[in-house]
């Protein structure tokens, strides 16, 4: 079963985020707290949303998908960015990942989102093969860019004076 996450799922989502980070060899980077996740998904202005995959027999959470909307200046429409897709090892091969992706695709269709995008680690061949089986296009000509930590602070310190500053700046 796939269902929308509730505030009561935050601890389980955080646990699965840590499991995903361990699988991706980056557990030290998974620093989100339950409080941060609760605010991000269920606060006054949600920044992200989640679906939960449950085992049909036990009702146990066996996976999750965390996503947020984005906007394309080229299409003039919103789209969906899938931040995390995770199915616990004991439940893999049971159709939960595909069910989560199908549920997200249905959300895109209902909301008129033209693009459904996410990243996958280049070494994660089993997942890449799974995505290929679904007909996913891989955008090899694009590179992911990330600015964080000290370089982010250094660049922010170089902000020029801005006329007619809005809340976006």
Q: Which of 64, 86, 113, 131 is catalytic?
A: 131
8 Å CB contact between 9 and 52: yes
CA–CA gap between residue 158 and residue 45 (Å, rounded) = 29
Distances (CA, A) of 89 to 27, 53, 92, 99, 133: 17, 13, 5, 16, 20
Active site residue 113: no
Location of structure tokens 């989102």: 113
**Closest listed residue to residue 17, CA positions, set 48, 55, 44, 57:** 48
Distances from the Cα of 149 to the Cα of 21, 70, 145, angstroms: 19, 23, 14
Active site residues: 131
């Amino acid at each position: 079963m796939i269902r929308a996450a509730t505030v009561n799922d935050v601890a389980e989502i955080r646990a699965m985020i840590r499991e995903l980070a361990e699988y991706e060899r980056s557990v030290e980077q998974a620093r989100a707290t339950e409080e941060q996740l609760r605010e991000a998904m269920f606060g006054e202005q949600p920044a992200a949303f989640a679906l939960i995959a449950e085992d049909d027999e036990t009702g146990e959470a066996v996976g999750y998908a965390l996503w947020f909307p984005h906007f394309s200046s080229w299409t003039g429409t919103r789209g969906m960015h899938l931040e995390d897709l995770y199915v616990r090892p004991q439940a893999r091969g049971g159709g939960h990942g595909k069910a989560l992706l199908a549920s997200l695709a249905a959300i895109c269709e209902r909301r008129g989102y033209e693009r459904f995008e996410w990243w996958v680690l280049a070494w994660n061949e089993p997942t890449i093969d799974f995505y290929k089986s679904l007909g996913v296009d891989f955008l090899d000509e694009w590179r992911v860019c990330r600015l964080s930590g000290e370089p982010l602070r250094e660049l922010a310190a170089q902000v020029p004076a801005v006329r007619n500053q809005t809340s976006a700046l």
